[in-house]
């Protein structure tokens, strides 16, 4: 095998596929990149048995062949070489030779026949949308995916097509994040739960462009396809939360507030909330809604803080406690100038919603306040 390629082209491919390399494994082959030639194309593949990534680039192929090489070592060498043409070949001793100007590196290789094949997916349902839209939706929901392996289904994000609208929903037991977008083309209804780990990696590969990404699903696998990159992943088994039944449809108290103002208040209050000497204790932030204002406060051994905001209020007065991080994560994901925050009772979920449309909902569960 021998081919010549410009550094920027192969580095772009490596930056994408390296996200599919196994980090902790007893199988060294999964720490490698499978390099294959096909006419004047090079295909790079990584697969950790959960997520597999293929990237194809054009190249000047001198000799056809295939080889597996350690992914981290190979990509780091390429990254540090000069910005020019690189010659990559396999010598008679089965070492991978990397030549660039005055540099020559030789790396041990592994047998490509031992590299596991990516699952072949027979797509049953699918959707196409612009990369910039999917990137935005993932970024603004992924933070609410659960980290608890005891509930595997919540470590993923629900992809749901319903009435030509794509909903992405993430939930971790304490909060829920949902983003929606209407699709340009008629699309059949379907749903699948994609692992959060996969979506994080997909999001790093997506560009802020209107280029198309195709998403296809089968019974237990999902496929993300871009122009020259393909990502396959397993679908999580289990029944996802029936989120429509847990999002409150009515409110008792509602405020209309400038998003940046309340976000800044929560950030300042968090300095006190998170600075307790007793690190294991959780100190909620208290939210009081009165006529025309909202007061956010926190008291612990470190000190106390209070922020008062003048806002538009509707409904009853309210006092409730919340984890400020959950509020901040939601507010940071919103681009609108103003938001509605809707409350029920002091022990029922709170909603952060758009003032203009229904393209997002963030739900946060309160923390029961101790009696003074």
Strands 190-195 and 212-217: unpaired
In tens, the pLDDT along 66-101 reads 999 999 999 999 999 999 999 999 999 999 999 999
Whether domain 247-364 has CATH 3.40.980.10: the reply is no
Strand partners, 88: 3, 98
**95-98 CB contacts, 8 Å cutoff, 24+ apart:** 96/67, 96/69, 98/74
- Computed on alpha carbons and rounded to an integer, the radius of gyration of the chain in Å comes to 25
Q: How many residues does the chain have?
A: 372
Task: Tell me the domain boundaries of the chain.
Answer: 2-114, 125-241, 247-364
Q: How many CB atoms lie within 10 A of CB 322?
A: 22
Name, in order, each residue with C-beta under 8 angstroms of 323's C-beta and a sequence gap of 6 or more. Answer: 174, 282, 284, 285, 364, 367
Which pLDDT score is estimated for 337? 96
Question: How many angstroms separate the CA atoms of 335 and 53, rounded?
Answer: 32
Q: How many CB atoms lie within 10 A of CB 358?
A: 10
DSSP three-state, residue 112: helix
pLDDT in tens, the chain (372 residues): 999 999 999 999 999 999 999 888 889 999 999 999 999 999 999 999 999 999 999 999 999 999 999 999 999 999 999 999 999 999 999 999 999 999 999 999 999 999 999 999 999 999 999 999 999 999 999 999 999 988 999 999 999 999 999 999 999 989 999 999 999 889 999 999 999 999 999 999 999 999 999 999 998 999 999 989 999 999 999 999 999 999 999 999 999 999 999 999 999 998 887 755 444 455 789 999 999 999 999 988 888 999 999 999 999 999 999 999 999 999 999 999 999 999 999 999 999 999 988 899 999 999 988 765
Match 């994901």 to its residue by tokens.
Answer: 333
Which pLDDT score is estimated for 280? 44
Strand partners, 127: 215
Which pLDDT score is estimated for 284? 86
Put the strands of the sheet holding 175-182 in their side by side order.
190-195, 156-162, 165-171, 175-182, 360-364, 350-354, 338-343, 253-258, 312-315
Match 């991080």 to its residue by tokens.
Answer: 325
pTM across the whole model: 0.90
Q: How many CB atoms lie within 10 A of CB 232?
A: 22
Which pLDDT score is estimated for 227? 87
Which pLDDT score is estimated for 371? 63
In tens, the pLDDT along 125-166 reads 999 999 999 999 999 999 999 999 889 999 999 999 999 999
**What φ, ψ does residue 31 adopt, rounded to 5°?**
-90, 5
Please spell the DSSP secondary structure of 147-209, one letter per residue.
Answer: --TTSGGGGEEEEEEETTEEEEEEE-SSEEEEEEEE-SS----EEEEEEHHHHHHHHHH--SS
Q: H-helix or E-strand containing 347?
A: none
Question: How many angstroms separate the CA atoms of 344 and 252, rounded?
Answer: 5
Closest CA to 355 of 343, 342, 339: 339
365: its two tokens = 């569960």
The answer to whether 97 and 35 are in contact (CB under 8 A) is: no
The answer to whether 275 and 302 are in contact (CB under 8 A) is: yes
Q: Which CATH number fits domain 125-241: 3.30.10.20, 3.90.870.10, 3.40.190.10, 3.10.150.10?
A: 3.10.150.10
Same fold, 2-114 and 125-241: yes
CATH dotted code for 2-114: 3.10.150.10
């Amino acid at each position: 095998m021998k081919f010549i390629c410009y550094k920027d082209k192969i580095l772009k491919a490596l930056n994408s596929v390296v996200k599919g390399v196994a980090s902790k494994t007893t199988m060294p082959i999964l720490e490698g990149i499978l390099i294959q030639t096909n006419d004047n194309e090079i295909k790079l593949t990584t697969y950790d048995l959960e997520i597999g990534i293929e990237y194809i680039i054009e190249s000047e192929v001198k000799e056809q062949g295939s080889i597996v090489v350690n992914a981290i070592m190979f990509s780091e060498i390429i990254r540090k070489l000069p910005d020019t043409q690189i010659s990559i070949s396999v010598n008679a001793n089965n070492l991978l030779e990397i030549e660039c100007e005055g540099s020559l590196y030789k790396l041990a290789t592994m047998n490509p026949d031992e590299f596991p094949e990516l699952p072949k997916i027979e797509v049953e349902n699918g959707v196409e949308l612009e990369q910039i839209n999917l990137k935005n939706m993932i970024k603004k929901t992924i933070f609410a995916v659960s980290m608890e392996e005891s509930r595997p289904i919540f470590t993923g994000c629900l992809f749901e097509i319903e009435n030509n609208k794509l909903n992405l929903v993430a939930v971790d037991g304490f909060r829920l994040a949902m983003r929606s977008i209407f699709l340009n083309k008629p699309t059949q209804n379907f749903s699948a739960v994609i692992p959060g780990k996969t979506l994080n990696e997909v999001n790093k590969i997506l560009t802020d462009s209107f280029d198309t990404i195709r998403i296809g699903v089968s019974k237990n696998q999902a496929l993300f396809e871009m122009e020259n990159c393909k990502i396959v992943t397993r679908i999580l088994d289990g029944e996802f939360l029936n989120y429509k039944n847990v999002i409150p449809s009515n409110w008792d108290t509602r405020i209309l507030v400038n998003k940046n103002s309340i976000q800044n208040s929560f950030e300042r209050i968090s300095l006190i909330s998170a600075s307790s000497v007793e690190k294991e204790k959780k100190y909620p932030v208290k939210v009081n809604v009165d006529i025309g204002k909202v007061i956010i406060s926190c008291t612990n051994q470190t000190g106390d803080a209070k922020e008062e905001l003048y806002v538009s209020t509707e409904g009853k007065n309210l006092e409730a406690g919340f984890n400020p991080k959950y509020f901040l994560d939601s507010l940071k994901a919103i681009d609108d100038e103003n938001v509605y925050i809707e409350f029920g009772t002091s022990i029922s979920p709170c909603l952060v919603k758009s003032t203009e449309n229904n393209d997002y909902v963030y739900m946060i569960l309160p923390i029961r306040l101790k009696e003074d």
